[in-house]
Amino acid sequence: MIVKNVASQAAFRPDKMGKADLLRTERIFTGLNCFEPGQEHALHTHSGQDKLYYVVQGQGIVRVGDVETSIGPGDLVLAKADEPHALRNPGSERLIVMAIMAPPPAAK
């Protein structure tokens, strides 16, 4: 499986964070979280699933546990299973973040 030009797969929504599925197997999932300016993904956890965030485009703020920091293109963030995490786009440009989860969430 190959996905070329990941950023071109982004799906933005005016009302909330957009999502785009990229790749899925029985052991791993990769997708995009797409934020318009001002949008966020509220603090949440994933039971039994580790999650990586890789910033493809834009600037954002990430919180993992009690730590909050700025992130930008090329940054990588780990939220271990059951660890609270959140993302937001406080800027004026779009934010695209690749989300990688293992094991994958249940298929919809």
Tens of pLDDT, residues 7-48: 999 999 999 999 999 999 999 999 999 999 999 999 999 999
* Structure confidence at residue 44 (pLDDT): 97
Q: Do residues 100 and 56 make contact, with C-beta atoms less than 8 angstroms apart? A: no
Domain-by-domain residue ranges, the chain? 15-102
Single pTM value for the model? 0.95
What does the alpha-carbon distance between residue 14 and residue 16 come to, in Å, rounded to a whole number?
6
Q: State the pairing for strand pair 40-44/29-35.
A: unpaired
Under CATH, which number does the domain 15-102 receive? 2.60.120.10
* Structure confidence at residue 92 (pLDDT): 97
What does the alpha-carbon distance between residue 102 and residue 29 come to, in Å, rounded to a whole number?
7
**Residue with more model confidence, 92 or 1:** 92
Tens of pLDDT, residues 59-86: 999 999 999 999 999 999 999 999 999 9
pLDDT beyond 70 at 108: no
